[in-house]
């Protein structure tokens, strides 16, 4: 089966969101959303970063996030394992492409499972199914708009 996520990539993205380099953090903040994270630890950390950002107007430092008692021990330990760092906007863009590819793969996988489940029912409303599939495929194709960001570089 195709790989559906990169735990290392997700945690690297979290670390980059907390980067003191505002151009790197801003780049990821402007294009990531919850759908880019699959692991529980990364989802939890992403939500904590956004909460801190809303309260303080800037993301937390990575050290502060790793010690945040609002996230689970597992999430904190996972974050502490990150060794790599994103150093350039080009690397941030590569990370975004990777995470978006995994997001799209997961969404297509879930869509496929949903279609099969629907088709196994005793009766099928084909028009409703096609409409739902079109909406999902449209969402899978979309990327978060730069205008949705609250973080200004």
pLDDT at 149 over 50: no
The predicted model gives 52-79 an average pLDDT of 96
- Rounded to the nearest integer, the mean pLDDT of the chain is 92
Residue 119: CB partners within 8 Å, gap ≥ 6?
A: 129
Instruction: Report d(CA 101, CA 79) in Å as an integer.
Output: 22
Given pLDDT bands bounded at 50, 70 and 90, which one contains residue 142?
A: confident
Spell 123-141 as b/e; 16+ CB within 10 A means b.
eeeeeeeeeeeeebeeebe
For residue 60, give both structure tokens.
């937390």
Question: Do the Cβ atoms of 29 and 99 come closer than 8 Å?
Answer: no
pLDDT at 143 over 80: no
What's residue 1's pLDDT? 86
Residue 12: CB partners within 8 Å, gap ≥ 6?
A: 82, 84, 85, 86, 95
What's residue 45's pLDDT? 98
């Amino acid at each position: 089966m195709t790989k559906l996520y990169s735990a290392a990539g997700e945690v690297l993205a979290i670390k980059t969101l907390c980067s003191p380099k505002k151009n790197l953090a801003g780049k990821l903040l402007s294009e990531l959303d919850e759908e880019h994270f699959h692991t529980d630890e990364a989802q939890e950390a992403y939500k904590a970063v956004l909460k801190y950002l809303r309260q303080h107007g800037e993301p937390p430092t990575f050290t502060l996030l790793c010690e945040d008692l609002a996230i689970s021990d597992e999430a904190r330990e996972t974050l502490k394992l990150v060794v790599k760092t994103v150093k350039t906007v080009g690397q941030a863009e590569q990370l975004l492409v990777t995470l978006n590819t995994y997001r799209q793969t997961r969404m297509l996988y879930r869509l496929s499972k949903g279609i099969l489940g629907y088709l196994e029912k005793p009766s099928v409303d084909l028009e409703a199914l096609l409409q739902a599939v079109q909406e999902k495929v449209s969402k899978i194709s979309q990327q978060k708009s730069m205008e949705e960001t609250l973080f200004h570089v």
